[in-house]
Amino acid sequence: MDSLNMTDELVSFFTDELAEMRLQTKYENILKAPTVYDGYLPLKKNARRGDEDTEQDYYPYVIVRFLYEKDNLKDSNVMKFRLLIATYSKDERQGWRETLDVMNHIKFALKEVDSVGPGLLTGEIESALFEEQMKPLWHGVMEVDFATPSVQLDRSVLGDGFNH
């Protein structure tokens, strides 16, 4: 399992697990499930050119971001992922609760299955809300580790590495 495939597995898993949630958006009376992205948010449209979308249109969302991998080259491989959670709430006192709710859904879903694709959840699930919030936009972060099968190369296909 390589890191790109594991990222895709996590995006699919979180999309399914969060599909039933209904969270606030910047539009009155429109609720939606968090959209799950890999890596980074898509480019936002330019409001100066007459495009109507702004960054707030993406809320709520979860970004699955690959951080790093430890491969001991023989028998174990661990990948670390950061999850960026963002919600929208005009409630300046309690708005943080929606972000924490998404984080709890993610944590409970991971603990229930214990693995995603070939990745086995290991270590701790770390969660934190940002200390400074850009109200009405609320953010949190999670980090999770997965043990995955170590990639083994078929050396007979590679040859000895020298061209004679």
47 falls within a domain:
no
45 falls within a domain:
no
Model pLDDT, residue 164: 47
DSSP-derived letter for residue 134 is: B
133 falls within a domain:
yes
Model pLDDT, residue 74: 72
pLDDT tens track for 2-39: 899 999 999 999 999 999 999 999 998 999 999 999 99
Q: 0.75 exceeded by the pTM?
A: yes
30 falls within a domain:
yes
Range of the structural domain that residue 148 is part of: 3-40+55-152
Model pLDDT, residue 123: 82
Q: What percent of the chain is modeled with pLDDT above 70?
A: 85
pLDDT above 80 for 152: no
157 falls within a domain:
no
| More confident: 149 or 92 | 92
What is the chain's mean pLDDT, rounded? 89
Measured CA to CA, the distance from residue 23 to residue 101 in angstroms comes to 10
125 falls within a domain:
yes
Measured CA to CA, the distance from residue 100 to residue 103 in angstroms comes to 5
How many domains are there within the chain? 1
Measured CA to CA, the distance from residue 58 to residue 44 in angstroms comes to 9
pLDDT tens track for 47-89: 565 566 677 899 999 999 999 999 877 777 899 999 999 999 9
In a 13 Å sphere around the CA of 140, the CA atoms on its Cβ side amount to 22
In whole angstroms, how far apart are CA 125 and each of 52, 83, 93, 110?
Answer: 37, 11, 26, 9
User: Any idea what the CATH number is for the domain that residue 21 is in?
Assistant: 3.30.70
Model pLDDT, residue 52: 61
Contacts of 5 (CB under 8 A, 6+ apart): 117
